[in-house]
Structure 1
Amino acid sequence: MVAFVRPALPSQLSAVARPVSLCRRIHSSPFRLAVVYPVTAHGPPPKAPEFKETSKLSDAELPASEGGASRYNLTAALKKRFWKDVHVHGKSDEYQVLLDKRPVRTPAKEVLTIPSTKPHLAHAIALEWDVMPSAQSALKSHLIPMTSLAARATDIAREDAEGKNTTRKQIITTAMRYLDTDTLLCWEPERQMHALERTTADGKPIETLRQIQTRIAGNIMSFLSTKVWPGLEIIPILDTNSILPLSQPKGTKDSICTWVSELSAYDLAGLERAILASKSLLIAVRLVVEWSENFRHVQRPETKKFGIEEAAEASSLEVTWQTNMWGEVEDTHDVGKEDLKRQLGSVVILVSGETR
């Protein structure tokens, strides 16, 4: 029987002939054994510390330092409601909301005063404080939307009386930034020639998202270009072949900037809230003009008002389109809808009044 031996490969020969001293070592430090020390503690292990709530500490257990005692007293006071009754105190030219006998104040420590033409605003603020369970709730702005919004308007009015315009400039800058990316002017690109159309069960074509956007935007822009800014040119900011927004003409920007700067304190505060809620300057202007007591001359009593539902619909067209196709996410889309309406509703109450 003949045995065949396979010749070794060159790589195998080089590995065999390699000197041992050239082999790479992963660990070059010398080996050391661990030193085990004996346990020197005697007796059972110590007990774990017990947790005690600060609000349940007795007077004897309070911290000795003055700072610790003041922090404890402040926390305990915020968890209580220091007032029993809330009522609106009306004067000849203003309203005040009183907590027992204490007036509600702004974050700047100024007394919150409401113009005499806005009784609904004063009673809405009183209702917020009447249902408040504790003073700590007043630190959360989402629980006091009307109070925070009225305080914002009061601060603007105070700056106007002092000859300052810091807050006005900030609001104008924010408003003009939203004009460059206005939600109302961002439309879906036009469909291609061979794109499939959605139809109903009866075979009727369903209105596309772009058709809905152009219809809603056309109604709002036609009102603004005839009643608010006559002859002003407003163009869509998204082109079909570009993802970068287009800028409005310089004359349009200058006219809108001048118009915003001349608003009253309450209208300006309401416009700011509506812009931040709807992500649209045009929708905010449409809502403020429709309900403000200072724009009675352009309002149309014989037609249906542009209200909370219409403003919420115009500012969330794409979201509504997507949720109609794929469904809503529970505790997300539904909560967002109600929060949007809550913020827009606060704007309506703020700017409306009894001026005829």
Structure 2
Amino acid sequence: MSDWAAKRFWSDVTVDLRGEGYVILLDKRLVKTPAKATLAVPSQAMAEAIAAEWEAQGEKIDPRTMPTTRSANAALDKVTPQRAEVAQLIAAYGEDDLLCYRAPSPEELLTRQKQAWDPLLAWAAQAFDAPLRTTEGVMHVEQPANSVINLTAGVTAQTSFQLAALHDLVSMSGSLVIGLAAQAGAFEIDDLWTRSRLDELWQIEHWGQDDDSDATAALKQAAFFHADRFYKLCFKN
């Protein structure tokens, strides 16, 4: 396998406001996305976070150490060209939200699910006028049409950068309600992550740890927490 990597070619990293966005410059040259669009972001704080990632690079560039840059690239190159499709993909989680499917047994697990997930569903019902039905088992339960419409509206109203964050919040947790609750700051982010993993934590309690599963969960948790930070950066100047 080749160990080739792009090498650092710049000395200075700066941020500048141009038009309606903040750009990052490497020795006065604009940073571009992989699709060659100018990397222009909605807030100074996000631009400075990206600039810090570029400034921290050594002789060779390591994209794995540049999560904010990657998320901004995704917002511009992947979300923006197909924003409506991405929004619908995310909104579709609301039709089969993780929180709506409860274990038929044992009773202790069902009780934990109610305690952890019912407050989230109550929040969605109030914040979005979107009450959702629950069921035991995995068979699809039809959700109220108005609830689906209202949750979808909450998704489609978001910018490309906000959607990039929401995509990871939802896909990592398996729940649109959890993703929206994270964006709203309705619950602490680590609490939301724990609630999303309730079933997995139950399995661990009863069947023990699994190294591969733990590694996968750690990667998902890191992505979930990063998405929360990235969303907040959309608004900080």
SS across alignment from 2:102: coil
Q: What TM-score do you get using the length of structure 2 for normalisation?
A: 0.83
The question of whether the paired residues in 1 share the 8 Å contact of 2:104 and 2:136 is answered with yes
Q: What is the match of residue 103 of structure 2?
A: 188
Residues 31-53 of structure 1, C-alpha deviations (whole Å, 9 max, x = no match): xxxxxxxxxxxxxxxxxxxxxx9
The question of whether the paired residues in 1 share the 8 Å contact of 2:46 and 2:236 is answered with no
**Residue 215 (str. 1) matches residue 115 (str. 2):** yes
Cα separation, partners in 2 of 1:120 and 1:212, compared to 1, 3 Å = farther
Residues 238-287 of structure 1, C-alpha deviations (whole Å, 9 max, x = no match): 435xx422121222222222222122332222111211211211111111
Pick the structure with more helix per residue. Answer: 2
Q: What is the match of residue 222 of structure 2?
A: 342
Q: What is the match of residue 26 of structure 1?
A: none
Aligned counterparts of 2:57 and 2:100: Cα–Cα separation in 1: 40
The question of whether the paired residues in 2 share the 8 Å contact of 1:114 and 1:122 is answered with yes
SS across alignment from 2:35: coil
Deviation at 1:340, TM superposition (A): 2.3
The structure with higher relative contact order (CA 8 Å, sep 6+) is 2
Q: What is the match of residue 319 of structure 1?
A: 200
Identical counterparts, % of pairs = 24
Q: What is the match of residue 239 of structure 1?
A: 136
Q: What is the match of residue 32 of structure 2?
A: 105
Q: What is the match of residue 177 of structure 2?
A: 282
Aligned counterparts of 1:333 and 1:100: Cα–Cα separation in 2: 43
Deviation at 1:328, TM superposition (A): 1.5
Deviation at 1:317, TM superposition (A): 0.9
Please identify runs of 4+ aligned residues in structure 1 that moved more than 6 A: none
Cα separation, partners in 2 of 1:129 and 1:54, compared to 1, 3 Å = closer
How many residue pairs get aligned? The number is 235
Question: What is the aligned counterpart of 1:270 among 159, 162, 165?
Answer: 165
The question of whether the paired residues in 2 share the 8 Å contact of 1:271 and 1:285 is answered with yes
Aligned 1:84-163 pairs, distance under 5 A: 84-89=11-16, 94-115=21-42, 118-133=43-58, 137-138=62-63, 142-155=64-77, 159=80
Mark the runs of 5 or more structure 2 residues left unpaired by the alignment: none
Question: What is the aligned counterpart of 1:310 among 184, 188, 191?
Answer: 191
The question of whether the paired residues in 1 share the 8 Å contact of 2:182 and 2:192 is answered with yes
Deviation at 1:187, TM superposition (A): 1.5
Cα separation, partners in 2 of 1:328 and 1:254, compared to 1, 3 Å = same
Q: What TM-score do you get using the length of structure 1 for normalisation?
A: 0.58
Residues 70-96 of structure 1, C-alpha deviations (whole Å, 9 max, x = no match): xxxxx5xx3422234434345685432
The question of whether the paired residues in 2 share the 8 Å contact of 1:288 and 1:347 is answered with no
Cα separation, partners in 2 of 1:90 and 1:335, compared to 1, 3 Å = farther
- The one-letter amino acid of 1:110's match is A
Cα separation, partners in 2 of 1:93 and 1:176, compared to 1, 3 Å = closer
Structure with greater Cα Rg: 1
